[in-house]
């Protein structure tokens, strides 16, 4: 089967969406499909076209950036070319260009499927309100023109103002999650570098530094945690500097974070590749996902942590709460409640054995090849129609 995957940002950009798209595309390639990823050439240091891990990546030139979006003058022409060359078009939403691809797929007799990752909520402001309105319109048109929609969980779909309108053409498929085995000595090397053997407990946060991620909730929970564990340490894995559209948010929280950095209670690790993340999780006692709105639909890092027997404290957002609810590996806390988050972390730390599960069982449900197989069943059903 020839599969075209379309999304605005692909690797090396790091987000839950790009990681999902990469894992799924490479799983399709391993399973014998011809896979093309069409995306933006947002990073000039990357090649305009390459083949990586069996996946052909085509990057369209970027003429202009608007907030977190990009303008690509040749994208329309490339859409005709690559839709015509493939059997199935998989579109990752939110994406401004999705209706055009879905319309071309219909005109050319191709199947198009939307993978809906999250609702979009930009910060307050007239311009961002306009962007939200435009993106919602584009997503609506894409939903009407596409053959089917996939999302992570029924829980998220039931509570999403967008997805709840398309129940008749919706299928939940769990996201693909995998981590390589840690390199020999890497876990211990990280422990020695950040003194995790003595600075216990270690609280993880693995995400971009963005306003919807609720970094301030963990910051507000820290005094209560430090009262019980003065040597507690947060290891923040992910981009925290120069995150697109998040500079003001970082600057607002930076003074508090600097105090914790000076006392050794907070460490920024920066972006980590999969091998580094494989060494990161075993050094944690608990992972925090304190997201604040439905731009977070699941939190893939929760499953990565659980594969390393690390429990999670997750906010009660639809979708985000499901990993803990399905596995029992952690606590779900009210959205934006720092006291509840601190209490949940302290409960987990007090009885860690209570939250242990079989990682192999969890891995089977989220194996990228298993996820790709579910997509293949859906593709076959739709192409049969």
| Full pLDDT tens readout for the chain, 385 residues | 999 999 999 988 888 789 899 999 999 999 999 999 999 999 999 999 999 999 999 999 998 887 677 888 999 999 999 999 999 999 999 888 999 999 999 999 999 999 999 887 666 677 667 877 888 898 999 999 999 999 999 999 999 989 999 999 999 999 999 989 999 999 999 999 998 878 889 999 999 999 999 999 999 999 999 999 999 999 999 999 888 778 899 999 999 999 999 999 999 999 999 999 999 999 999 999 999 998 888 999 999 999 999 999 999 999 999 999 999 999 999 999 999 999 999 999 999 999 999 999 999 999 999 999 999 999 999 998 6
Evaluate whether 2-176+367-384 and 186-365 have a shared fold. yes
Residue 173 CA: distances (Å) to CA of 6, 118, 307, 368, 373: 18, 14, 19, 11, 10
Model confidence, pTM: 0.85
Rounded Cα gap, residues 286 and 283, in angstroms = 9
Domain definitions of the chain by residue range: 2-176+367-384, 186-365
**β strands within the chain, DSSP E:** 2-6, 34-40, 49-52, 55-60, 64-66, 69-71, 88-93, 111-116, 148-151, 170-172, 202-206, 233-237, 266-270, 286-289, 312-315, 330-333
Q: Which CATH class, in words, describes the domain spanning 2-176+367-384?
A: alpha beta
Superfamily of domain 186-365: Glycogen Phosphorylase B; (3.40.50.2000)
What are the φ/ψ torsions at residue 86 (nearest 5 degrees)?
-125, 165
Rounded Cα gap, residues 346 and 339, in angstroms = 11
CB-side exposure of 360: number of CA atoms within 13 Å?
0
Burial (CB < 10 A; 0-12, 13-18, 19+), residue 74, is exposed
Give the pLDDT score at 134.
82
Q: Please tell me whether the peptide bond between 235 and the residue prior to it is cis, using omega within 30 degrees of 0.
A: no
């Amino acid at each position: 089967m020839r599969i075209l995957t379309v999304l605005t940002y692909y690797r090396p950009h790091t987000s839950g969406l790009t990681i999902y798209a990469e894992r799924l595309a490479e799983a399709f390639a391993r399973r014998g499909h011809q896979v093309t990823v069409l995306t933006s050439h947002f990073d000039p240091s990357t090649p305009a076209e390459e083949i990586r891990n069996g996946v052909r990546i085509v990057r369209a030139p970027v003429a202009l950036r608007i907030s977190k979006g990009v303008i690509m003058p040749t994208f329309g022409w490339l859409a005709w070319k690559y839709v015509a060359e493939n059997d199935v078009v998989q579109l990752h939403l939110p994406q401004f260009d999705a209706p055009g691809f879905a319309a071309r797929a219909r005109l050319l007799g191709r199947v198009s499927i939307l993978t809906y990752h999250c609702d979009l909520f930009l910060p307050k402001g007239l311009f961002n309100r306009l962007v939200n309105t435009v993106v919602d319109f584009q997503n609506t048109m894409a939903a009407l023109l596409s053959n089917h929609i996939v999302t992570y969980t029924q829980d998220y779909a039931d509570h999403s103002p967008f997805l709840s309108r398309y129940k008749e053409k919706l299928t939940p498929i769990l996201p693909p999650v995998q981590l390589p085995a840690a390199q020999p000595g890497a876990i211990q090397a990280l422990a020695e570098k950040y003194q995790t053997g003595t600075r216990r407990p270690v609280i993880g946060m693995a995400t971009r530094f963005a306003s919807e991620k609720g970094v301030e909730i963990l910051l507000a929970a820290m005094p209560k945690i430090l009262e019980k564990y003065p040597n507690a340490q947060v290891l923040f894995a992910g981009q925290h500097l120069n995150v697109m559209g998040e500079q003001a948010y970082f600057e607002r929280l930076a003074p508090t974070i600097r105090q914790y950095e000076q006392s050794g209670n907070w460490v920024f690790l920066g972006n980590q590749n999969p091998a580094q993340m494989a060494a990161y999780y075993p050094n944690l006692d608990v992972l925090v996902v304190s997201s604040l709105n439905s731009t977070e639909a699941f939190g893939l890092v929760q499953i990565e942590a659980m594969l390393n027997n690390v429990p999670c404290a997750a906010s009660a957002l639809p979708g985000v709460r499901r990993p803990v609810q399905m596995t029992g590996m952690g606590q779900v806390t009210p959205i934006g409640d720092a006291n509840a988050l601190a209490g949940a972390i302290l409960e987990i730390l007090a009885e860690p054995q209570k939250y242990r599960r079989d990682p192999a069982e969890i891995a089977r449900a989220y194996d990228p090849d298993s996820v790709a197989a579910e997509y293949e069943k859906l593709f076959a059903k739709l192409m049969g129609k």
